[in-house]
Amino acid sequence: MYAPSKALAKTNVGLNAAIAGVSMFYEIMDTPAGEGAVERAKPAFVKKGGTVVFDRVTFGYKPDEPVLRELSLHVEAGKTTALVGQSGGGKSTVVNLILRFYEPQSGVITIDGQDIGKVSIGSLREAMAYVGQDVYLFGGTIRENIAFGHPGASQEAIEAAAKAAYAHDFIQAFERGYDTEVGERGLQLSGGQRARIAIARAILRDASMILLDEATAALDSESEQAVQNALDDLCAGRTVVVIAHRLQTIQEADKICVIEAGRVVEEGTHEQLLARGGRYAYLHAVQFREELELAGVEQISVSLAAMRSNLLL
């Protein structure tokens, strides 16, 4: 009697879990897609190098925990805007909102004057190329991965993009070249190789906006140089938003915005911000000292303690 009734009791637990699962499934399937009407609306036309403006945007992944707090930001067309600041400040979140992976809770984001919430997601993402730390390659050949989003591309165009992305040589070195299977069931490419595939994809698509989130962070210095060269070529003349922890890589940016606790606390060029002696100058000095320490230099003239006390005043 005991064993069967125990089994029966267990069945009930399993059944309830299944019912909960099924009801969650229906809840999700029954949710209106939100987009719907808007997706059929007139698609946004993003001309080469769109201007993106954040106007007092507040957003949190959880409604009561804002990550961006009335953040205002101006990304100028054809220029490079760098986002820097301490970890967790909200830099990647800004990029997530530009790509409309999430919608702001208040405030407006516009691209060339159009509210991005009112244009189709497809047309928005088509105008943009994203190269992040963790590039996703789907199952298929290298050729298909580069041509993703551009199905009719010719072999010449694909190879030209791969060359410009400093990817052609390593692709050629594979036995099957551009027909090498990658992704889950294929060959596992290194971080630097995947980054260069993503860059080739972006070059082929000729997107007007490039979003780079720590694109070279996980690479060794040799592939970092190759990827950096590819990025420099890709970004020339386009609208670029670049997030970098290593400040050295963004010194040349047209504008640097320091984001802290969900706000832009400082902006300007490298020289302007250094001269100001504020947050950027502090971050820069800290990083400079770390690099010198790594290089074995003991004494430096920058007095961090003095800067720190200045900031506290």
Tell me the closest approach of the beta carbon of residue 68 to ligand ATP, in angstroms: 8
CA 100-83-288 angle, 5° bins = 155
The listed partner (ligand ATP, Mg ion, none) that binds 90, CB under 5 to 8 Å by sort, is ligand ATP
96 binds Mg ion (CB under 5 A): no
Tell me the closest approach of the beta carbon of residue 79 to ligand ATP, in angstroms: 21
Rounded Cα distance, 86 and 285, in Å = 14
Quick one: which of 49, 50, 66, 89 contacts ligand ATP (CB under 6 A)? Answer: 89
Residue with CB nearest Mg ion? 92
Quick one: which of 92, 96, 208, 239 contacts Mg ion (CB under 5 A)? Answer: 92
Site string for ligand ATP, 48-87 (x = CB under 6 A): -------------x-----x-------------------x
Q: How far from chain centre, in Å, is Cα 115?
A: 20
Residue closer to Mg ion by CB (options 99, 274) is: 99
45 binds ligand ATP (CB under 6 A): no
216 binds Mg ion (CB under 5 A): no
Consecutive H or E run containing 89:
none
Residue closer to ligand ATP by CB (options 134, 179) is: 134
The listed partner (ligand ATP, Mg ion, none) that binds 93, CB under 5 to 8 Å by sort, is ligand ATP
Structural contact between residues 150 and 204, judged by C-beta atoms closer than 8 angstroms: yes
- What DSSP designation does 186 have? S
How do the residues of the chain divide into helix, strand and coil, expressed in percent and rounded to 5?
A: 45, 20, 35
Q: Do β-strands 52-59 and 68-75 pair in parallel, antiparallel, or remain unpaired?
A: antiparallel
Q: How far is CA 47 from CA 44, 91, 111, in A?
A: 9, 25, 10
Q: How far is CA 137 from CA 131, 144, 186, 201, in A?
A: 12, 10, 10, 11
Q: Which residues lie near Mg ion (CB under 5 A)? A: 92
Interface positions with ligand ATP (CB under 6 A)? 61, 67, 87-93
